[in-house]
Structure 1
Amino acid sequence: MSSTRGCQRNWRSLLVSAASGSTCLPRCLTAWKCRYASNNDYWYLFWYCPGDDSLSMKFNIETRGDITVIKLQGARLDANTSRELKKLVEERAMKRQDKVILDFESVKFLDSSGLGVLVSIMKFLRAPGALVICQINDRTIQDILRLTRMDQVFTITETREKALQLFSQ
């Protein structure tokens, strides 16, 4: 039993304390080796760390006439969150809502999975008249889209008002 207590102490030192709202990478499964009390075999104890809420992604959906605005509320569009966005846009497209504004206002990180889901969204919405506008005010995200030449695929604006004006033209 003393080795189990030692593991709990290690958890506290590594995680600070699960009860105090410790953070690690979002949705990670972290494992530590801990000796079992009766022998020297190692057992892996898993601890789920939901991570910092600013690293997870939530979506706020507004509908303005025939335009759907999907506000990405979170700091990262990565492998963990991009699939959720793709599924959400596909559901909207099935409902014939093919004018979409993706609001990246709070997004500060975009990786290859996030870029991949943006390409998937464009392929899925290839219907005549379908249009996806990315509202991005973060210079780093804009630079990523420019470097990957995604700015030639997507219409990018810095404000929602500009995006809405593009739909009205």
Structure 2
Amino acid sequence: MKFQTETIEDILVLRIEGDLIGQDSGPALMELLNDKIESGLTSCAVNISGVRYMNSSGLGVLMTILTKFRNAEGEVALAGPSESVQKLLIITKLNSIFTIKPDERQAVDYLKSL
């Protein structure tokens, strides 16, 4: 898993690529997110269009991200899940917990409107 961040109009955009399986980069990602929340960012668009595969640990990473931002009175939107990731979100019923948008721009626009 590789990730990068960018701030667009007070919205943190987190782009994740590769396999989201909760591997070694998870703690580094959580530390980065904690720093961003402490700096005042409370909304996060998570672009998962580059995620090829996700397992239960990867779902746990997404749930941790959501929990961190909601605890900071913010929100998270997922952007661009592949068909297989979308199916996984539906099977696990996480599609009812996450806001899912077709692309990054729509996720950012949604978060700006809150």
SS in 2 for 1:137: coil
Q: Does 1:149 align with 2:93?
A: yes
* Corresponding residue of 1:78: 21
Distance in 1 of aligned mates of 2:52 and 2:39: 30
Please show how residues 14-163 of structure 1 align to structure 2 within 5 Å.
57-73=1-17, 75-80=18-23, 81-127=25-71, 129-163=73-107
SS in 1 for 2:70: coil
Q: Which runs of 5+ in 1 are unaligned?
A: 1-56
Q: 1:113 to 1:70 in 2, by over 3 A?
A: same
Aligned partner of 1:164: which letter? V
How far apart are 1:91 and its partner, in Å?
Answer: 2.3
Offset from partner CA, 1:75-124 (integer Å, 9 cap, x none): 20013144433333222212221110111121010011111121122222
Aligned partner of 2:10: which letter? D
How far apart are 1:129 and its partner, in Å?
Answer: 4.2
What number of residue pairs does the alignment pair up? 112
RMSD: 1.7
Instruction: Report the TM-score, using the length of structure 1 for normalisation.
Output: 0.60
Distance in 1 of aligned mates of 2:81 and 2:59: 17
Q: Flag as ranges the 4+ runs of structure 1 deviating above 6 A.
A: none
Q: 1:69 to 1:150 in 2, by over 3 A?
A: same
Percent identity reads 26
How far apart are 1:128 and its partner, in Å?
Answer: 6.0
Q: 1:124 to 1:164 in 2, by over 3 A?
A: closer
Which is higher, the Rg of structure 1 or of structure 2? 1
Higher relative contact order (CA 8 A, sep 6+): 2
